[in-house]
Amino acid sequence: WDKVNIQYRFKQGATQSSIDRASEGDAEDWEVRVVWGEGATYNLAPGQSEWFAFHVDKDVLVATATDVTYDADLNSQTPKITVNGKYNKNLEEGVDFTFDFSASDAWTYDVPLTLTPEGQTKYTWKDSNDTTVKVKWTINPDRIDRPTLSGDATVVYKSEDQTWAVSNYLEAAMEYSVNCGYHGSSDDCVKFSDGTITARDVGEYTVTFSLKKNYCGGTNYEWNSEDPEEVNLTVEITKANLVLTVTVSSITYGDEAPVFSSADSTEDNYGLAFGWLGTDDYEQIAGDSFKVYTDYVRTDDGQGDVGVYPVKYSGFESRNYNKGGNTDGTLSGNSDAEAPYNELPYTIEVEYD
């Protein structure tokens, strides 16, 4: 075999540009021959041979990208690309192919990969005759816990702001909206700030949390659970009982009927004290139909029937206070649906002088 010389050449008719850019082993049409040297003991005369044609196919490449998870601490992420052929494994980026791509938001992207001039002589992409192919690369949303309410959701009115802490709230991941129930005014509405729900007046309030959309239209986060997208946290403030205290228990036969003041005073010597909470006052009563009275009536002759008269009230409406309760001083008795008035746990006794 030391007398044998194997020679390769491009198949006759190959263009000069093809020859110039290719090296031995490139995917092209080739010819090969055996040249016998002096002293060879074969039938062919020295230097004689035939050219035999053969073809080297390009290796077919498949590219994949390794999916990652959204990372708020990174400005962007670059995909890790793996390119393998049937015979050539782990091709080198920058030598056989190139790409220039990065992203930050959670989404599925098309990453373009382009064969280099050198790579084009040896490889082709699977399912593509182009020098560029696109590979799918996904940045998956980061998984987070859903916001939850800490403490009791329902409390009683106190004439002051009441708060509820929201656990797992992440401002970068979530947006929120508030629903004030039947109270439309923004002054009456529930507020949410820095992970805390705040409300003052009686009502049922809902704060709805949803995942923020990113620039691509997806979300960079997703809930750990499989519950619906939105999270509704509802808190409620229920009415407090209002204590009315009547400080006079008797009058003298023949006196005028008691006229109770509509404020905290002893006007006309008949006291009616309101047990407001905090800084509340008579403005808590809606409208002007509220009154406290008895059925005692002074007659035309300046007298009146002696006896014991229950103290009654009517027309009581309040957002934050009940008009029903126990007989310990809170408004009590029949409901308006059963009678036009309610009785207080007090009586006025009309006595002989």
Backbone angles phi, psi at 267, to 5 degrees: -55, 135
Please, what is the end-to-end C-alpha distance for the chain in angstroms?
150
CB atoms within 10 A of CB 137: 22
State residue 237's pLDDT score.
94
State residue 335's pLDDT score.
37
Share of the chain above pLDDT 70, in %: 67
Asked which of 139-148, 218-227, 344-353 is least confident by mean pLDDT, the reply is 344-353
Closest listed residue to residue 146, CA positions, set 234, 218, 209? 209
State residue 19's pLDDT score.
43
Q: Which range is most confident: 23-27, 81-85, 183-187?
A: 81-85
Q: Region 98-126: what's the mean pLDDT?
A: 94
> What is the C-alpha separation between 289 and 291, in angstroms, rounded?
6
> What is the C-alpha separation between 266 and 255, in angstroms, rounded?
17
Backbone angles phi, psi at 120, to 5 degrees: -65, -20
Closest listed residue to residue 152, CA positions, set 138, 139, 162? 162
> What is the C-alpha separation between 308 and 296, in angstroms, rounded?
9
Q: Region 282-304: what's the mean pLDDT?
A: 75
Strand order in the sheet with 123-125: 80-84, 59-66, 123-125
> Mean pLDDT in the chain?
78
* Contact predicate 230/206, CB 8 Å: no
CA-to-CA separations, 146 to 211, 222, 235, in angstroms, rounded: 10, 9, 17
226 confidence band (pLDDT: 50, 70, 90): confident
114 confidence band (pLDDT: 50, 70, 90): very high
Q: Region 61-73: what's the mean pLDDT?
A: 96
Residue 184 sits at the vertex; the CA angle it makes with 183 and 189, to the nearest 5 degrees, is 70
329 confidence band (pLDDT: 50, 70, 90): very low
9 confidence band (pLDDT: 50, 70, 90): low
For residue 244, pLDDT over 70 is answered with: yes
* pLDDT tens sequence across 259-288: 776 554 444 445 677 778 898 888 888 877
Sign of the torsion angle spanned by Cα atoms 156, 158, 159, 165: negative
State residue 15's pLDDT score.
47
Sign of the torsion angle spanned by Cα atoms 59, 62, 63, 64: negative
> What is the C-alpha separation between 204 and 209, in angstroms, rounded?
17
